[in-house]
A and B are shown apart, each in its own frame.
Chain A
Amino acid sequence: MGTKSSRSLYETLQNMDVRYVYLVVLLVVSLPILYPLGLPVGTISKETLGLYNYIDELPPRSVILLIADQSPAAAAECQPGMIANMYHIIAKGHRILFYASRTDAPPFIEDAMKQVLGRSSDHPDYGKLYVNLGFIPQTEVGLAGLAADVFFTTTDAYGNDLRSMEFFQDLPNKNARDWKLAIYYGASALDWVVRQVTDPYGCPTGGGVAAVLSSRVYPYYPHSVIGFLTGLRGSAEYEILVRRPGEAAAGMDAQSLGHLAIIIMIVLGNIGYYASRGKPRGGA
Chain B
Amino acid sequence: MSVVLKRYIPTIILAALAFFMVGDTLIAEPTYNSLATSGRSAVTIISAFAVMLSITLLTRIHAKRIARKRTVIESSVLLTCMWVTLLWGFFRFALYGVQPTQEAVVQNIFNGIVSPGDSTIYSILAFFIASAAYRAFRTRSVEATILLAAGILVMLGKAPIGEMIWTGFTPISDWIMNVANKAGSRVILMSAIIATIALYIRIILGYERGWMGRGD
Contact = CB atoms under 8 A, between A and B. Distances in A.
Contact of A158 (B36, B101, B111, B182): B101
B160 A71 contact: no
Interface in A130-158: 132, 134, 136-138, 141-142, 144-145, 148-149, 152, 157-158
B200 to A, nearest CB: 14
Contacts of A18: 131, 135
Contacts of A198: none
Say what secondary structure dominates the interface of chain A: helix
Nearest to B189: A219
Interface in B177-194: 177-178, 181-182, 185-186, 189
B85 interface: no
Contacts of B126: 25, 29, 258
A43 B134 contact: no
A21 B131 contact: yes
For chain B, the bracket of interface size reads: 35 or more
B15 to A, nearest CB: 18
Interface string A207-237: 0000100111011010000000011010000
Interface residues of A, number: 69
A179 to B, nearest CB: 17
A141 B40 contact: yes
A95 to B, nearest CB: 20
A256 interface: yes
Given A72-B114, A72-B119, A269-B137, A211 B158 contact: yes
B130 A25 contact: yes
Interface in A93-119: 104, 106-107, 110
Contacts of B115: 72, 75, 107
A21 B134 contact: yes
Contacts of A31: none
B99 A46 contact: no
A242 interface: no
Given A43-B163, A157-B99, A215 B181 contact: yes
Contacts of A72: 114-119, 122
A221 B185 CA distance: 12
Pick from B41, B119, B131, B138 the residue with the most CB of A within 10 Å: B131
Interface stretch (A1-9, A56-64, A164-172, A259-267): A259-267
A191 B133 contact: no
Interface stretch (B6-14, B43-51, B74-82, B203-211): B43-51
A40 interface: yes
B110 A104 contact: yes
A76 B146 CA distance: 31
Interface in A240-281: 252, 255-263, 265-266, 268-270, 273
A45 B163 CA distance: 12
Contacts of B111: 107
B127 A22 contact: yes
Interface of A: 16, 18, 21-22, 24-26, 29, 39-43, 45-46, 71-76, 104, 106-107, 110, 121, 132, 134, 136-138, 141-142, 144-145, 148-149, 152, 157-159, 191, 200, 211, 214-216, 218-219, 221, 230-231, 233, 252, 255-263, 265-266, 268-270, 273
Closest 7 pairs between A and B when the two form their complex, measured CB to CB: A73-B122, A256-B161, A72-B118, A145-B40, A72-B115, A259-B159, A265-B134
